[in-house]
Amino acid sequence: MFEERKSVKEVEEGNSLSPKFSNDGFIPVVTTDADSGVLLMHAYMNKEALELTIKKGEAHYFSRSRNCIWHKGSTSGFVQKVINILIDDDQDCIWLKVKVTGNASCHVGYYSCFYREIKYDGTKAKLKFTEKEKVFDPDDVYGDSPNPTIL
C-alpha cells in the first residue's frame, strides 16, 4: 500500500503515499471531529493500523500501553468513522477527521481527551476543566478492563 520514499520532491509534492514511521515503527496521529473541528485525541499508528484505517474507514491505532492494534470503539462502541485522512508535507504525521458514534472519544468519559486547560497564576501551573460533565461512565463501559494510562 505504501511507496518507497525516493525523493524529497515526490514526498513533498508527489502523489505517492510514503509515510515516514519512526525508528520504533510509529507515526503520530491527531484526530478531530469532522464537523466542529474539536481536537479529540492524539495517538500513534503503525503500518498495520494505518492500512486498516484506510481500508476500513474506521480509526485504528497502535496502543503502546497494550502493545497491540486498537480499533477505536471496539469495546466502548464509540467508533470513529473516518471522513478524511490527511498527511503532512513530509508525510510523518497523520490527521484524521472523524464522526464519532456515541459522542465520546476519551476513555475517561469525556467527549475529547483534551478536557483540561493549563492555567498559570504566576507561581504555579494548574489544570482547569474545560468540559464540565462526562458523556459516559467509564466503569459502566469498560468494567474490569485495564486502564491504558501508565504512571
Fold topology of 8-107: Ubiquitin-like (UB roll) (3.10.20)
137 three-state secondary structure:
coil
Chain segment 101-132, per-residue pLDDT in tens: 988 889 899 999 999 989 999 999 999 999 99
Beta strand spans in 53-147 (E): 60-63, 68-71, 80-87, 94-100, 116-120, 125-129
Cell numbers linked to 27: 507515526
Count of positions (residues) in the chain? 151
Q: Read off φ and ψ for residue 139, nearest 5 degrees.
A: -65, -40
Q: Residue 145: which pLDDT band, with cuts at 50, 70 and 90?
A: confident
Q: What is the pTM of this model?
A: 0.87
Chain segment 23-75, per-residue pLDDT in tens: 999 999 999 999 999 999 999 999 999 999 999 999 999 999 889 999 999 98
* CA gap 67, 137 in Å, rounded: 25
Cell numbers linked to 37: 473541528
